[in-house]
Amino acid sequence: MTVFTTTPPRSLDDPGLGEEYLRLVGDGDEYGAVEVVNELLENGTPPQRVMLDLIARTQGRVGELWAANEWSIAREHAATAISERALAAVAARSSVRPTRGRITVACVDGEWHALPVRILGEMLRLDGWRVDFLGANVPGTHLVTHLHQTGPDAVALSCMIATRLPRAHAAITACRSVGVPVIAGGRGFGPDGRWAVKLGTDAWAAGAQEALDRLNGDWPPRIGDPYETAFLGDDEYTYVVRHRGDLVSTALVRLAAAYPPVSGYDQRQHDATAEDLGHVVDFLAAALYVDDAQIFTDFVQWTSAVLEAREVPPVALQIGLMLVRDQLRDYPAAIAVIDAGVAKLRP
Ligand code: B12
C-alpha cells in the first residue's frame, strides 16, 4: 500500500516561516523566496500581510544583521534585491482598479531607501489609489514639476535618514505652496513623526497601514499658510553646512595624532572613517536645523553600536566628535548638541 504524505500549505502564522524566508533572502535564493510569496498568496493570505508581515519584517531583520556586522553590505544588497522581486511578485498577482484619487509617492532628495515607500505605494494601490511611484532621491524641483503635470490629491513623502530633513522641508513647502497636501513617513521624521510636524506636513503616519487609515479619514486637510513653517535653520546651521568639507578634512588630518590606531588603517578603513565623520557633520546640521539634539544623540548611540560591532571602541567616536567640536568653538548651539552626543557614549 502506498501512503501519500502532504506537507501542509505554508502560512504566515507558522512560527518558522520568518526564519525560513530570511534564510532564503540571505542565501540569495530569489526563486525560493518568490515561491514562498506565491504559495502564501495562493493560500489566500492577503497581499497586504505578505508585504508587511513577511517582506517588510524581514528587511528589518536584514538591517539588524548588517548593523551587528553579521551580514556584509553585499549580502544586505542581495537580500534587498530579492525583497524587491518578492514585492513585484505580490504586485503582479493583485491588481485593483483605482477609485479613490491620485497620489504621488516619492523619497526626498538624497534618500535611497526606496523599498519602504514602494511597499507603501503597493498598499495604496490595493486600497484603490492611482499611484505615481517616483522612487528614490527625487529632487524637490522635479517633484513639483511632476505635480503640475499630474495634479495629484496628495504627495506621500518618505525620509528614512534624518540628515535629509532640510531637503524634505524644501519639498514639503514647495508641494504645499502649489496646493497639494503632504503626508510624511519614514523613521527620518523621528519618533511619532515629531520633526514632520516642525517641517509643516499636513499629516504623518508611522507605517503603510496607518497611512491608509489617515488617508481614508478626513482627507484632504485644509492646507494652512505654507510660509508659516517655511523657515528653519539659523547661522549655526548655515555655517556647519557651508564648512562641511573643511570640518571633515581637518578632523581627519588631526585624527592620526589624536587616535594612533588610525595610522595602521588601510584605504578601506580610511574611507569608512571619512564617511563616518561626514555623517557626524550631517547629523549635527540636521539637529541644528530642527533645533533638537535628539537627532544627534540617536545617531551617536546608533553609530557607536555599529562601530563596536566592528571592533572600533566608543573612544574612537568620542575623539572624532571632539575633533569636530574643536572647530566650532564660536557656535554654542553646535557645541551643546555635540556635548549631548558625547554624554551618550559609554565611558
Ligand atoms: C535596504 C537598506 C538600505 C538600502 C536601500 C535600498 C532600497 N532599495 O531601499 C541602501 C543600501 C541604499 C541603504 C543605504 C543606507 N542606509 Co539603510 N537600510 C536598509 C534596511 C536594511 C532595509 C530598509 C527597508 O526596506 N526596510 C523595510 C521597511 C518596510 O521598513 P519600515 O521602515 O518599517 O517601512 C515602513 C515605514 O518606514 C513607513 N514609511 C516609509 N516611508 C514612508 C512614507 C510615507 C508617506 C508614509 C506614510 C510611511 C512611510 O511605511 C513603511 C511600510 O510600512 C534598513 C533597516 C530597516 N530596519 O529598515 C536600513 C537602515 C534604514 N539604513 C540605515 C543606514 C544608516 C543607511 C546608510 C546611512 C548607510 C551608510 N553608511 O551609507 C545609507 C543611507 C542612504 C541614503 N542616503 O538614503 C539605518 C538607519 C539608522 C538610523 N540612524 O536611522 C537602518 C535602520 C539600518 C540599521 N539597522 O542601522 N540602506
Question: What cell does 131 get?
Answer: 499611484
**Identity of residue 129:** W
What's the rounded mean pLDDT across residues 175-180? 94
Cβ atoms of 110 and 78 within 8 Å: the answer is no
270-281 as b/e: b if 16+ CB within 10 A: eeebeebbbbbb
**Mutational test site, ligand 1, from 25, 160, 161, max ligand atoms within 8 Å of CB:** 160
Show the 3-state SS of 265-319: CCHHHHHHHHHHHHHHHHHHHHHHHHCCCHHHHHHHHHHHHHHHHCCCCHHHHHH
CATH 3.40.50.280-classified regions of the chain: 101-229
In this predicted model, what pLDDT tens digit does every residue of 306-325 receive, in sequence order? 999 988 888 999 999 999 99
CATH 1.10.1240.10-classified regions of the chain: 17-93
Cβ atoms of 72 and 18 within 8 Å: the answer is no
**Residue 218 pLDDT > 90:** no
Domain 101-229, CATH: 3.40.50.280
What pLDDT shows up at residue 241?
A: 97
Higher pLDDT, 346 or 107: 107
Q: How far, in Å, CA of 124 to CA of 309, rounded? A: 38
Helix (H, G, I), strand (E, B) or coil at 199: coil
Task: Indicate the fold that domain 17-93 takes in CATH.
Answer: 1.10.1240
Atom number in ligand 1 closest to CA 120: 52
| CA 261 to ligand 1 center in whole angstroms | 31
Atom number in ligand 1 closest to CA 114: 9
CATH 1.10.490.20-classified regions of the chain: 235-343
> What is the pLDDT confidence band of residue 281, given thresholds at 50, 70 and 90?
very high
Average pLDDT of the chain, as a whole number: 94
**Identity of residue 173:** T
Is the previous residue joined to 152 through a cis bond, with omega within 30 degrees of 0?
no
> What is the pLDDT confidence band of residue 232, given thresholds at 50, 70 and 90?
confident
| CA 159 to ligand 1 center in whole angstroms | 9
Ligand 1 is surrounded, with C-beta below 6 A, by 52, 56, 59-60, 62-64, 66-67, 76-77, 80, 110-117, 119-120, 156-158, 160-161, 183-187, 205, 207-208, 211, 299, 302
- Report the run of H or E that residue 147 belongs to, with start and end: helix 140-150
What is the residue whose three cell numbers read 534624518? 162
| CA 160 to ligand 1 center in whole angstroms | 5
| CA 113 to ligand 1 center in whole angstroms | 5
| CA 203 to ligand 1 center in whole angstroms | 20
What is the DSSP-derived secondary structure letter of residue 52?
Answer: I
Question: What cell does 15 get?
Answer: 512560527
Q: How many Cβ atoms sit within 10 Å of the Cβ of residue 161?
A: 19
Which residue has the least CA distance to atom 68 on ligand 1? 161
| CA 171 to ligand 1 center in whole angstroms | 20
Atom number in ligand 1 closest to CA 204: 47
Higher pLDDT, 13 or 58: 58
What is the residue whose three cell numbers read 511578485? 89
Which residue has the least CA distance to atom 82 on ligand 1? 161
What's the rounded mean pLDDT across residues 197-223? 92
Atom number in ligand 1 closest to CA 84: 8
What's the rounded mean pLDDT across residues 283-311? 95
Helix (H, G, I), strand (E, B) or coil at 173: helix
- Which of 181, 121, 119 has its CA nearest to residue 151? 181
Atom number in ligand 1 closest to CA 160: 61
| CA 315 to ligand 1 center in whole angstroms | 27
Task: Indicate the fold that domain 235-343 takes in CATH.
Answer: Globin-like (1.10.490)
**Residue 2 pLDDT > 80:** no
Atom number in ligand 1 closest to CA 298: 83
What pLDDT shows up at residue 15?
A: 86
> What is the pLDDT confidence band of residue 228, given thresholds at 50, 70 and 90?
confident
Cβ atoms of 156 and 183 within 8 Å: the answer is yes
In this predicted model, what pLDDT tens digit does every residue of 20-55 receive, in sequence order? 999 999 999 999 999 999 999 999 999 999 999 999
Cβ atoms of 105 and 143 within 8 Å: the answer is no
**Residue 5 pLDDT > 70:** no
Q: How far, in Å, CA of 23 to CA of 20, rounded? A: 5
In this predicted model, what pLDDT tens digit does every residue of 65-77 receive, in sequence order? 999 999 999 999 9
Atom number in ligand 1 closest to CA 110: 77
**Mutational test site, ligand 1, from 51, 59, 112, 113, max ligand atoms within 8 Å of CB:** 113
